[in-house]
Amino acid sequence: MMGHPDPTSEQDPVVRSVAAYSNEPQAYADHYAHHLLDRPHRFAASLPAAARILDLGCGPGRDLRIFAALGHRPIGLELNLDFVELARHQGDVVVGDIRAVSTLFPPASFDGVWAQASLVHLSTDETAQALADLHALLVPGGHCYACVSVTGATGWLDEPDGRRWYTVWPDESFLDAVRAAGFEITDITRGPYIEVWATKV
Ligand SMILES: C[S@@+](CC[C@H](N)C(=O)[O-])C[C@H]1O[C@@H](n2cnc3c(N)ncnc32)[C@H](O)[C@@H]1O
């Protein structure tokens, strides 16, 4: 069933997918060091000065550094400890699971939530819950960016550095999930991924 891996064939797909980033963490950081840099700059420009930004699944910390350099106050959330070690050279990072984000920060803690390719390993149900949690973590008028896969098939993917589960969102289904969480979508960037720019109304 779409978005619902068989729990009898694999143990927690999210944990297994996140662990795969430990095979070549520095190579991953180097490979994506210059990836889509216009996006975090655009997001940063949309926020008030010294905004509190949650960088969800911050990876090695590329965007933490950008947000801080632009005068904001980012904090990363990351489950992979090798990425946590790298990201802490760029800023503050909390170790934790996106699926428990509502337990990690009080409501209305952030002006912005940045989820660059970090919801891709969650099931559709887990993502729907995460979006609702992120909505609660934002102040009214706060901004959210989220990017997920819309091409390929939901399931396990064998990549050069490991095996990961990807949930693919067909048609407009991710937009529906973002709206159902309470957001107003302000812009959409379409490509192999769908990038959603949204506001807490
Ligand atoms: C495709 S990488 C993107 C990393 C970074 N945001 C970037 O754009 O380069 C996905 C990141 O999300 C993290 N991640 C995925 N699921 C997570 C979860 N449930 N809790 C915390 N981090 C998670 C992974 O460990 C990884 O760092």
CA 53–ligand 1 middle distance (angstroms): 16
CA 123–ligand 1 middle distance (angstroms): 14
Q: Is residue 7 part of a domain?
A: no
pLDDT at 115 over 50: yes
pLDDT at 9 over 70: no
- CB within 6 Å of ligand 1 — which residues? 14, 18, 21, 32, 57-59, 62, 77-80, 83, 97-99, 116-118, 120-121
* Residue 80 Cα: closest atom of ligand 1: 25
Percent of the chain with pLDDT over 70: 95
Name the residue of 12, 18, 28 whose CB sits within 8 Å of the most ligand 1 atoms, as the mutation to test its pocket. 18
Give the number of domains in the chain: 1
DSSP letter string, 71-132: T-EEEEEES-HHHHHHHTTTSEEEE--GGGGGGTS-TT-EEEEEESS-STTS-HHHHHHHHH
Model pLDDT for residues 30-89, shown as the tens digit of each residue? 999 999 999 999 999 999 999 999 999 999 999 999 999 999 999 999 999 999 999 999
Q: Is residue 4 part of a domain?
A: no
Residues 135, 128: Cα–Cα separation, whole Å: 11
What's the pLDDT at 10? 54
Residue with CA closest to ligand 1 atom 8 = 116
CA 57–ligand 1 middle distance (angstroms): 4
Residues 148, 37: Cα–Cα separation, whole Å: 17
Q: Is residue 3 part of a domain?
A: no
60: CATH: 3.40.50.150
Structural domain for 139, as ranges:
13-200
What's the pLDDT at 8? 41
- Full-model pTM: 0.94
CA 46–ligand 1 middle distance (angstroms): 23
DSSP letter string, 118-138: -STTS-HHHHHHHHHHHHHHE
Q: Is residue 8 part of a domain?
A: no
Q: Is residue 5 part of a domain?
A: no
